[in-house]
Amino acid sequence: MKKDVQRTFVLLRQLYSGRESGYARAETRDGKVNLNLVVQGFAPGEEPGAFAVTESGLLYIGPLNMDSRGQGGIAAQLSLSEFREIQVLFVAYMDGCSVMVPLAGTVGRGCWVDWTKVCDEVDAVLNPHEEEAPKDDSPAPAKAEAPA
């Protein structure tokens, strides 16, 4: 019995001059996609995560398991429908208060990416801000006076 297996290789290219490099390999089998994303060249202490730009928005794949040499990766399983929506795979991490996206690669035909919007969404995932409690502007209840 022959199994229908499809493999996709994505080269993650540097978005700016740096030392990072990586690739992703996806294997489709039995309606599921096994995604292996591998990176190297990250500085100690950086905690990168794997993300994807999809037709419906941002998909957080998960944190990369990094070693002390700056090498790491993630093995994730996606549904076939999730994988088919992916247009760009990328790696991002927080550098202080700003989001850094050192690596990205197109899947299939890719798309135009609004990186400012993507970085804002990544910031919300990697650095969640606590929701401020709504302020109660209603006046305090009046105290009842006891009859004299």
- pTM here is 0.81
Is residue 71 classed exposed, middle or buried when 0-12, 13-18 and 19+ CB atoms within 10 A define those classes?
Answer: middle
**pLDDT above 90: residue 126:** no
Q: How confident is the model over 24-66, as pLDDT tens digits? A: 999 998 889 999 999 999 998 889 999 999 988 999 999 999 9
Residue 138, pLDDT above cutoff 70: no
The residue with tokens 């093995």 is 75
Backbone angles phi, psi at 49, to 5 degrees: -125, 155
Q: Which tens digit of pLDDT belongs to each residue from 94-115?
A: 988 899 999 999 997 778 889 9
Per-residue pLDDT at 137 exceeds 70 = no
| pLDDT reported for residue 48 | 94
* DSSP structural state of residue 55: T
Q: Identify the DSSP state of 109.
A: T
The sign one gets for the Cα dihedral 113, 10, 80, 90 is negative
Q: Is pLDDT above 80 for 131?
A: no
> What totals of helices (H) and strands (E) does the chain contain, helices first?
2, 9
